[in-house]
A and B are shown apart, each in its own frame.
Chain A
Amino acid sequence: MNKEIVIAGFGGQGVLSMGMTFAYAGMVENLEVAWMPSYGPEMRGGTANCVVILSDQKISSPIINEFDTAIILNQPSMEKFESMVKPNGEILFEASTILSPPTRNDIRQYKLPANAAAQSLNNKRIMNMIILGAFTQLNPILHDTSIMTALKKVLPERHHHLLPINEKALHRGKELIYR
């Protein structure tokens, strides 16, 4: 198993922390993991992305330009990353922020109303966990318990009272796929 994922959106959407949660959860499951943030000029322009690799073998190159999964949370990132998804790969994107959906027909597309779902749970900031839930439903490589263990590491302790709502968001994300 080797899963190469890019997560991209605006700063503040939880792009980097979502990637970190993936990486931590992978480590909890004894996978090899690498997390590479964008820290260059694009970060300073307000957009952010990170690459996460989960693998059951040693990760040779953490620098990649083709992805199995792209999680896209804003339009500029869709334009940048759509062409970099491998054939038969997948794009998960947030429904309300993407105006022009992907045009490729050799990839799977999942349009997720994650912002709306987050609002219905009365917490806009858990949108990223909803997407993460959808990803784990599509790709059963990370157990929910590992993700919750990971979240405890990623979230500062003062935010640990938010763990239950995050768990709810995780399940809400799964429902978006199997309903």
Chain B
Amino acid sequence: MSEKLLMKGNEALAEAAIRAGLKGYFGYPITPQSELLEYLSHHLNNRGGSFLQAESELAAINMVYGAAGAGVRTMTSTSSPGYSLMQEGVSYIACAEIPCLLVNVVRGGPGLGTIQPSQGDYFQAVKGGGHGDYKLIVLAPDSVQEMADFVYLGFDLADKYLMPVLILTDGALGQMMEPVTFPDYDVEKNKVDHSSWATTGKLTSRSQNVITSLHIEAEKMEDINIHLQKKYKTIQENEVRYEAINTEEADIIIVAFGLVARVAHKAMENANKKGLKVGMIRPITLFPFPTEILLTLSEKVDQFLVVEMNAGQMVEDVRLAVNGKIPVDFYGRMGGVIPQPSEIVDKLIQMDSSKTHSK
């Protein structure tokens, strides 16, 4: 374990990537993600990797496709408008089943929007984002420490399932400083053998390795789709991660991810001091979504409140999970505005009293 350091989320993520054995980084500057790129531009080339600033996000994601195709740890990072530009490439990589790490430090949209933090890209992150039926594993850190930790996890999951893993974070987590320690991570020990598919030069001992996302015959394309869906099902069964807090005695459960989960945590504490019974579920993997725990809790609690920095996106997945059993309410702020704990407490009080009235 490293000594405790005070770092920005973006820098911690970059440092973790180097320690996780990052070989190729390709990116293009955009606020509020630029420190990540800057950090790697200073350090990656001296520490075993190659840093390249691409001419655009479109170029960057295709460079990732190429370098990751050689079976080495590869990543890119960007913020919302830049991530939209990458979607064609992400779809190709998902289809070709290439492992890589993507980072979206989300800012307020739509459009060029603002550089303030947002969660407006949730749908884009968990429902595909590009064309076709594909998924990414989506990890949502809520602290600078997790910004670092999820890099190792992300690379390991990408290598395990041969697919892109997305770290979905936001401008505030990218910009804020908190103490962080880096785990001892053995790059060699965690290396996965990709020689069966990676395009590293043909050996006489085997036939050509070919990477493509083009399969003209419909039947062949359907087979690939069936294979992908099977893989996503395995992931849904095995890789769900969430944090449950105070769920035992709760009447109302808040569901929130990322930065908002911390604001909601404070709101939960304050509401419980006022005599309410509030618990919390923090989804850590947004895909696979923690559906089962929400369904289980819907048998025990009265209401859910989903809090997000958007117009209501994850709330749809919570409603799907709960399947109409109990009311699922929503509170959100948009366009780069961060909700305050007091706003969420007000909402909780309102929900609690409306329940009492209806009895």
Answer yes or no: do A and B interact.
Answer: yes
Residues of A within 8 A of B267 (CB): 61
Q: Given contacts A36-B172, A36-B175, A39-B31, are A61 and B266 in contact (CB under 8 A)? A: yes
- Stretch in contact with the other chain, from B176-184, B206-214, B292-300: B176-184
Bound Cα distance from A40 to B108, whole angstroms: 11
Stretch at the interface among A19-27, A92-100, A127-135: A19-27
Tell me if B290 counts as interface (CB < 8 A to partner A): no
Would you call A33 and B179 a contact (CB within 8 A)?
Answer: yes
CB distance from A24 to the nearest CB of B (A): 5
| A27-B4, A63-B172 given; A35·B177 CB < 8 A | yes
| Interface-lining segment among B21-29, B64-72, B233-241, B257-265 | B257-265
* Nearest CB of A to B31, in Å: 7
Contact call B179/A61, Cβ cutoff below 8 A: no
Expressed in whole angstroms, the minimum distance between the Cβ of B345 and any Cβ of chain A is: 12
Q: Give the chain A neighbours of B342 by CB distance below 8 A.
A: 65
Q: How far is the CB of A71 from chain B (nearest CB, A)?
A: 18
Would you call A62 and B179 a contact (CB within 8 A)? no
Contact A33–B178 (Cβ < 8 Å): yes
Total contacting residues, chain A, CB less than 8 A: 21
B residues with a Cβ closer than 8 A to A are 4, 6, 31-32, 114-116, 171-172, 175-179, 259, 262-263, 265-267, 269, 336, 338, 340-342
- Interface pairs (30), CB distance under 8 Å: A20-B6, A23-B177, A27-B6, A33-B178, A34-B176, A35-B176, A35-B177, A36-B172, A36-B176, A37-B175, A37-B176, A39-B115, A39-B171, A59-B178, A59-B262, A60-B263, A61-B262, A61-B265, A61-B266, A62-B172, A62-B178, A62-B259, A62-B262, A63-B172, A63-B262, A63-B338, A64-B340, A64-B341, A65-B340, A65-B342
Residues of A within 8 A of B (CB): 20, 23-24, 27, 32-37, 39-41, 59-65, 153
- If A39-B115, A61-B341 are given as contacts, then 6 extra A-B residue pairs at C-beta distance below 8 Å, sorted by A number, are A24-B6, A36-B176, A36-B177, A59-B178, A61-B265, A61-B266
